[in-house]
Every structure is written in structure tokens, then in C-alpha cells.
Amino acid sequence: MDFDACQIEAQKLRRELTEHSYRYHVLDDPVIDDQTYDKMLRRLIDIETRYPELVTEDSPTRRIGAPPLTAFDTAPHSVPMLSLDNAFNDQEILEFHARCLKASGAHDLTYTVEPKMDGVAVELTYENGVLVLATTRGDGYTGEVITENIRTIRSVPLRLMDNKTSAPDFIEVRGEVIIRHKDFVLLNQRRLDKGDAVFANPRNAAAGSLRQLDSNITAQRPLTIFVYGVGVVRGLSFSSQALMLEYLADLGFPVSPLIKKAISIRQVLENFKHLEGLRSELAYDIDGMVIKVDDISIQQALGEKIKSPRWAIAYKFPAMEKTSKIVDIRVQVGRTGTLTPVAELVPVNIGGVTVSRATLHNADEIKRKDIRINDTALITRAGDVIPKVVKIIPAARTGEERVFTMPETCPVCGSRVKQLDGEAAVKCINVTCSAQIKERIRHFVSKKAFDMDGLGKKLVEQLVDKKVVSSFADLFHLDRDTLAGLERMGEKSADNIIAAIAQSKTVSFARFIFALGIAHTGEHAARLLAQKFADLDALMAADQQAISTIHGMGDTTAGAVTGFFSIEENIKTVKNLLDAGVCITNDLYGDAHEKDNAVSGKTIVLTGSFETLTRNQAKARLLALGAKVTSSVSKKTDIVIAGSKAGSKLAKAEKLGVTVWDEARLVALIG
């Protein structure tokens, strides 16, 4: 068969396979059997193998998997993927409703209520109807690029449907990737048959599947998705949450059939009771109900807090509880010296997770609950996440229980401990305590700080115990021979860690602030400081009043920051990091979020190979600056950015008189 005939047949097969996949995976209403579908898919594979130039971004063959990656790229979210505040009883929902009424000035509100899927949040970006980028939620501001893995999920449309409505030029769709119960059982059975470790629960399995560098492995996992919202949408707006979800369903996305509209807060609470009753019958895990103000203009008026929107809340189901025996109480030392008692438990399965430890917070908590070693206790996972001792069961006592007392000296370094005025916590005040050093180093190298890949807990413990590392700056002076000589380390592993450390030397100002471990200064506060102050010198020179005036920044954090930089040892720590070659960048300062730049509103095409960043990274930064990035050059193209080995797209741009940039100009723009 000649090229033209194959091209026509391939187009027809892609269209029909997409329709059949939608009917099977989204509508659950197939009209052909699996054998017929597989035969059509094999024919398309044959054609695309013979003529690779016929392969398109939205071809069903892209679901099979792509060549393995060596590492994940990252990409910023145009609109932050915020978390939700939690509520655990009706009263907290009524208070949420009252806040929304007061802030909006409305007499009453309509809500959409939806099941809170217990999966992995992702964002899917479509240009001209085709999936071009997929990212994890990450820290809410930046996620990992998992496009090839998402393409393997059959319920994710590679091209948006346009038979019911027209697709926008650009849309970011947000959803939750999950694994259904029956598929999870089969997946674990296959792993058992192969001698592999089983997954603890469907959420862990979904998360692990999406983080595979080899998308061929992801393609073998039974993932599916439900969408619930959007980020940026160009050329289109919605009046309500419900209409937006209807639109997404018309584009071919799976939308939960359990999503309802509630015209009063009473109906919201009734829906929660109904959903709670359905929980055990559902084909997948849910851990609550998400409540959103339906009117999007009111959503916009209510706005967001630092971490969460004011117009939405998650009503969590009561936590699952099990009994277990407290076999011991051990004391851990944190990075600020706080001594935390932890209950060692007989392992118990709670909600698909094996729990063997639970925090007891402090001595006052132990005394209040009369918790003793060898007690039988009721254990829960607060918010279905953090293990917690709810109460002890006095009737189960045998007389073998022992009263626990907090140590008077640090269990690690032996220094005397101190309880500060007004605080329940007991602290080791020896800043050279090895436990504190280990926790500070672990925080410094963590993913949200300097992100030194490979420097895990065990390696940090070795480095500190062998007195190789005692400060942040010591990490940047590690050499191959020192690392290779450590337990379970070889030359290749050492080389990888040295490379990761070198790569981390260039760090954003927000990450740098967070990495220092300043009290009461989490990642969100660090971002606010980076937006306010241009550089480290400006922050170090700021007084408490200047910091406390930042919107969203309280007096406690302001005092902690100024207090931190008033200590000579901390100034020395910062200086040593800069002397070690750490380079701090800050693209959050001032009007970094304003779309006032050379590419805002422009249509851009990337072509060729780039040396300083990947195509996905360049694309994500351009999108964040308000540009529209397309895959083909036309008269509507404003700028073509050409790397090395640019081919036909560059030639076409020159022919049409389109402005051409080189990589240097791109880097100068995005930093």
C-alpha cells in the first residue's frame, strides 16, 4: 500500500480507536470486542512502523510506552495546585458556610459536592486539542513531568473530542489518578506470582506507577483518572463549577457520576451522609467529600489563602481505628532539638497501611491520656495519614504496664534537656548533638530544599557518624573517594551523588530560605520572603516590622527570621554556603508573576536541541510567562526559538519572515 493510502487509513484507525477507547474506558459501553480492537491497533502499529512520519502526538500507539528516561524534568504550574482545608464534623462545615456567606455577601450559596478520590493529583495540558504536557502536583507550584506515563492511561484523552463542543486552543485539566479495587487485587497477585513485593494500598501503587522512568512499566499498570477542575483556559470562561465539569465530560474526560449540586448547606450535609454510606460499595478508595462554591465569580471573590482556596473544603470521613499494644516508648530528637516520645506498636493494618509507630507529641499528652508502656490502645490515622494514639483501654490492663517518664538528658548526646517557658516541648540545647545535625542535613538535602538526589537517611547518618559532614557547607566539599568508601556505596553511586550535589548548587531563593530550617518558616513562608526581598542581603538586613507587614506573614515567623539572622553562627553558615559555590536565583521577586514580558500573548514554536535546558522545561517556563507554545510554524507564529540541528521548522520560519531567537536569548528571558 502506498504512502497516501496508508496516511488515510491511519487517520481513520486513529479516529475509530479513540472513539472505541472512550466508549470502553469512560462510558463503560463498548460496541466492539477486545479482539477486534487489538486487531485495529496492530494494523495502526504496522502502518506507523512502516512510515514513522505518520506517528502523531495523539496516536493510540503512544499509550504503549516510550523509551526510558534517565530522570524527570520539572515544570511550574501556571496556577498553583493548592491543597484543601479539612473539616471533620458538621459544625466545621457550617462554619465554612458562614465564612463564605459573610465574605461574599450572599444570602445563600449553591455548592458542588464530589467524592474525594484517594489517588495522585495531576495536571494535563492540551494545546489545539492535543495532550502536550502532564505533571504531578509536586509542591503545588512545581511538579514533575510525567507526560509519557500519563499517555499510557487509557481513560486519558490524547486528543480532545469535538463532536459535542469545541475544544479551546489551550487548557490545563486537573484530576486524580487512581487504581480500582479489583484491578489492585489482580496487580498484587501478578506481583506475588513473580516474587515481587506487593503494594500496601491502591494509592501507593498509583503513585509508584506514575513515577516510573520507564513508561513501558506504567503501561502495564491499571491506572485510570477522574478530572475535577482546570488551571489556565484560554479563550473560554465558565459561570459555574457544575457547567465546567459538564464541559470537561463533553471533551471526553471521565468525570465522577457521584458529583452532585447542593442548593443549600443542608443538602451538602445530606450528601455527605449518603456518600459515607456508599463508601464501602464503591469500586475505588475515597476518603471524604470535597465541597466547592458552585458560582465561579463568587470563587474568585473569595480568593485563596497561602495554602488553600477559601471557596472549597474537604469533609473527611471519620478516621479508621484499630487496637494495638504499645510495646515501648522511644524518644526521638528533631532538628531543632525537640524531644518527641514515639509509641512502638505491635504492627497493625489501618486503611491498607501497616502502622508500627505513633507519635505521642510530648510528656503533657502522655500524662493527659495516661499512656503507659504495655498498654492496649486505640490507634487511628489522623486524616487517614498520621498515626495517632486516640486513647488507652483501661479494661485491657494486666498490671504489667509501666509509667513512662521523659529523660532528663538527651538520649543521643547526653546533654541536659530544658523545657522553655510557655512550651510543652522539652529540648536538647546542644546544637552539636548528632541527632540534630542529621535532621538538619536531611531537611537541607530534601526534595523541597536543595533536592540532592541520592542523599537519603542512611547515607546522611553515615556521613554524620563518621564526622565527614557536620554542616551544610561540608556537603559541597564531598569527594568521590570519601563517598565510595562508605557502606553500600560504589564508585558509580558516588559519581551520581557528586553530580546531584553539583547540580543543586544553583538554587532558588525560596528553596534556600526553606533549606536553612528557620523556625516557623515553611515553604510557603519562604516563597513570600522571596517575593518581597530581591536577595539574601536584603532579607538579612530587614527588621521584624518589614517582614511582618508581608501579607500572610505573622509576627511569629517574622520574629523567627530576624532572630535567625541575628545569630553569628547562622551568618557564618550562610557565608560558608556561598563560599562553597552556592548560587541563589530569584524569579519570584517583585512582579515576577506579571505577564509583562517579550513573550506574553505570543505564539511560539520550539525546534532543535537545547544545551542548557530540556524542551519541556523551556515550554513550561514560556507557558508560565503567558506565551502560547505550538508544534507547527504558520503565519500566526510570532517567534521560533531554534536550538542546534533545527530543521524544516526553522526553514519555514525564515521563509515566512517569522522572528527567530537562538537559545541564548531564550535563556536570557527565562533565566
Q: Is 114 labelled a binding residue?
A: yes
Please tell me whether residue 637 adopts helix, strand or coil conformation. coil
Q: Is 410 labelled a binding residue?
A: yes
Judge contact between 194 and 146, C-beta under 8 A: no
Q: Is 35 labelled a binding residue?
A: yes
Judge contact between 608 and 643, C-beta under 8 A: yes
CA dihedral 332, 333, 338, 339 (to 10 degrees): 40
Q: Is 112 labelled a binding residue?
A: no
Q: Is 483 labelled a binding residue?
A: no
Q: Which residues pair with 323 in a beta bridge?
A: 378
Contacts with 130 (C-beta within 8 Å, 6 or more apart), sequence order: 56, 57, 58, 158, 159, 160, 631
Q: Is 413 labelled a binding residue?
A: yes
Q: Is 19 labelled a binding residue?
A: no
Q: Is 84 labelled a binding residue?
A: yes
Judge contact between 361 and 389, C-beta under 8 A: no
Q: Is 557 labelled a binding residue?
A: no
Contacts with 552 (C-beta within 8 Å, 6 or more apart), sequence order: 305, 306, 524, 525, 528
What sign has the CA pseudo-torsion 529, 534, 539, 540? Answer: positive
Report the run of H or E that residue 504 belongs to, with start and end.
Answer: helix 491-504
- 116 is an active site residue: yes
C-alpha closest to that of 413 among 397, 427, 433: 433
Judge contact between 343 and 360, C-beta under 8 A: yes
C-alpha closest to that of 141 among 600, 592, 663, 630: 592
Contacts with 425 (C-beta within 8 Å, 6 or more apart), sequence order: 338, 339, 340, 362, 419
The overall longest dimension of the chain from CA atoms, in Å, is 90
Q: Is 34 labelled a binding residue?
A: yes
Q: Is 433 labelled a binding residue?
A: yes
Of 12, 39, 102, 116, which residue is the catalytic one? 116
Q: Is 428 labelled a binding residue?
A: yes
Q: State how far the Cα of 372 lies from the Cα of 391, in Å rounded to an integer.
A: 11
Q: Which residue has the cell 503533657?
A: 364
Give the amino acid at 268.
V
Q: Is 38 labelled a binding residue?
A: yes
Q: Is 434 labelled a binding residue?
A: no
Write a three-state SS string for 218-255: HCCCCCEEEEEEEEEEECCCCCEHHHHHHHHHHCCCCC
Contacts with 317 (C-beta within 8 Å, 6 or more apart), sequence order: 276, 279, 286, 287, 288, 384
CA count, 13 A, side-chain hemisphere, 480: 7
Annotated binding site: 34-38, 83-84, 114, 137, 176, 292, 316, 410, 413, 428, 433
Annotated binding site for NAD(+): 34-38, 83-84, 114, 137, 176, 292, 316
Annotated binding site for Zn(2+): 410, 413, 428, 433
Catalytic residue set:
116
